[in-house]
Amino acid sequence: MLLKFVAWRREAVPGGVMLAELVRTELSHEMAYMAGADRAGRPVMLAFPAKHFSATRDMAGFKRYVVYLFDAMCARIPRGQEKFLCVVDLKGWGYANCDVRAYIAAIEILQSYYPERLGKALMIHVPYLFMKAWKVVQPFIDANTRDKFVFVDDKSLEETLRREMEDGQLPEMYGGKMPIVPLE
């Protein structure tokens, strides 16, 4: 596995660092933000898939963006911690945002080259249409990774987020006090 990772990393990230200039277009869409930390001390990333449009997506650029994103999250993981929490807010997600190939690519990168870095992914504001796309993507996810995706219904959203994060770490947009910062 290590040799496979080294070979992939050499090809995917020439020079060892994914530079922001290489993903400038994707960063301009502000699809991901950094927030505080959860109660376990894991850094929190907010993802907004409704800002991703499959019609304008370049797969190579998207994969570079995913690597940049995971590298940025891993760099924020404090000593003694190995994982991060991701809140995936699907509010406004619709047919134009549905990109099964990109989702499979992102999950493949996560589970193959960043194993055990995802602590939990809270899927919030999940529309019915997304669940149809999820049924297509789900078979491509290994069981260990799949178990980390938690679908939160709107009725228990506030309770779930407050269970995961203290008020000072909960993003302002969800009733907390933590301002969010676009990933750059």
What range does the domain containing 57 cover? 1-174
Residue 10 placed within a domain: yes
The candidate with the shortest Cα–Cα distance to 101, out of 138, 137, 142, 48, is 137
Q: In the 8-state DSSP scheme, what is residue 171?
A: B
Residue 8 placed within a domain: yes
Residue 184 placed within a domain: no
* pLDDT for residue 16: 87
Rounded distance, CA 45 to CA 55, Å?
25
For 4-42, how does the pLDDT look when each residue is reduced to its tens digit (9 = 90+)?
A: 888 999 999 988 899 999 999 999 999 999 999 999 999
User: How many domains does one find in the chain?
Assistant: 1
Q: CB within 8 A of 54, min separation 6: which ones?
A: 96, 97, 98, 99, 102
Q: For residues 18 and 68, is the Cβ–Cβ distance under 8 A? A: yes
Phi and psi for 177 in degrees, rounded to 5?
Answer: -120, 0
Q: CB within 8 A of 87, min separation 6: which ones?
A: 35, 44, 45, 46, 47, 121, 122, 124, 161, 171
Residue 143 placed within a domain: yes
Rounded distance, CA 181 to CA 184, Å?
9
Residue 179 placed within a domain: no
Across 166-181, average pLDDT? 94
Residue 182 placed within a domain: no
Residue 99 placed within a domain: yes
Q: In the 8-state DSSP scheme, what is residue 178?
A: B
* pLDDT for residue 1: 74
For 35-94, how does the pLDDT look when each residue is reduced to its tens digit (9 = 90+)?
A: 999 999 999 999 999 999 999 999 999 999 999 999 999 999 999 999 999 999 999 999
The enclosing domain of 106 has a CATH number of 3.40.525.10
Residue 11 placed within a domain: yes
For 102-143, how does the pLDDT look when each residue is reduced to its tens digit (9 = 90+)?
A: 999 999 999 999 989 999 999 999 999 999 999 999 999 999
pTM here is 0.93
Q: What are the strands, taking DSSP E only, across the chain?
A: 32-37, 43-47, 84-89, 118-124, 149-151, 181-182
